[in-house]
Amino acid sequence: MTSDAEPRISSVLFMCGMNSIRSPMAAAIASRVMPRGVYVASAGVNAGENDPFVDVVLKENGLDLGSHKPHLFEDLEDGYFDLVVTMAPEAHHLALDTMGSTYSDVEFWPMPDPSLATGTREQVLDAYRDLFRRIETRLIERFG
C-alpha cells in the first residue's frame, strides 16, 4: 500500500519476456485495481504472440486485453513511466540497463511463466489462474 509520503504514481509500465502473458495480464488487472487516471502499459524484451489462455482467465474475472498485441519495450511511444514493474529476470535486466536512472522506481516482481505448465487443459489453466491471483494480490498490496 502506498504511504502519504510516497509521490502519486501517474504511469506504470509492466514488463516481461514476451509481452504475451504476465505483463499484459498485469496491465489488465491494474486497470481495475489502480486509481482512475493512472496510465498503464506493458511491453516485452521480445515480442511474442497473444496467448489464448490469458484471454480465458481474464474473461473468468471480468477483464479482457482489448486490442492488445504483444510488442517490444523499444516500440513504446512514451518512454517515461513513474514506475516500471518487471516480472521476468530478462525484463528486469533490460529495465535496469536502459531505464534505471531515468525512472523513479523499478521493482522486480518475479512471477512464474504459466506457459511452462504441463498436463490437461484444466491443469494448464490452473497455472494461469494462479498467476492471475499472484498478480492481483501483489497489485492490491502495492496500490490497494
DSSP 62-130: T---TT----BGGG-S----SEEEE-SHHHHHHHHHHTTTTSSEEEE-----GGG--SSHHHHHHHHHH
Cα–Cα distance list, 89 to 37, 41, 100, 107 (Å)? 29, 19, 14, 11
Domain count within the chain: 1
Average pLDDT in the chain: 91
**Residue 43 maps to a domain:** yes
Give domain status of residue 4, yes or no: no
Q: Is 81 within a domain? A: yes
Residue 79, in any domain of the structure: yes
Q: Report yes or no on 3 lying in a domain.
A: no
User: pLDDT exceeding 70 applies to what percent of the chain?
Assistant: 90
Position 10 scores a pLDDT of 92
Q: How much is the pLDDT for 103?
A: 56
* Domain with 66 in it: 11-143
Asked, for residue 5, whether it belongs to a domain, the answer is: no
> Quick one: pLDDT at residue 7?
63
Angle of the 22-33 helix axis to the 52-60 helix axis, nearest 10: 20
pLDDT at 101 over 70: no
pLDDT for residue 52: 96
pTM for this model (two decimals): 0.91
| CATH code of 105's domain | 3.40.50.2300
pLDDT at 28 over 80: yes
1 belongs to a structural domain: no
**Is there a domain that residue 103 lies in?**
yes
How sure is the predictor about 6, in pLDDT bands with cuts at 50, 70 and 90?
Answer: low
Evaluate if residue 104 carries a pLDDT over 80: no
Collapsed DSSP state (helix, strand, coil) of residue 2: coil
Q: Is the pLDDT of residue 128 over 80?
A: yes
For the segment 51-93, what is each residue's pLDDT rounded down to a tens digit? 999 999 999 999 999 999 999 988 887 778 899 999 999 999 9
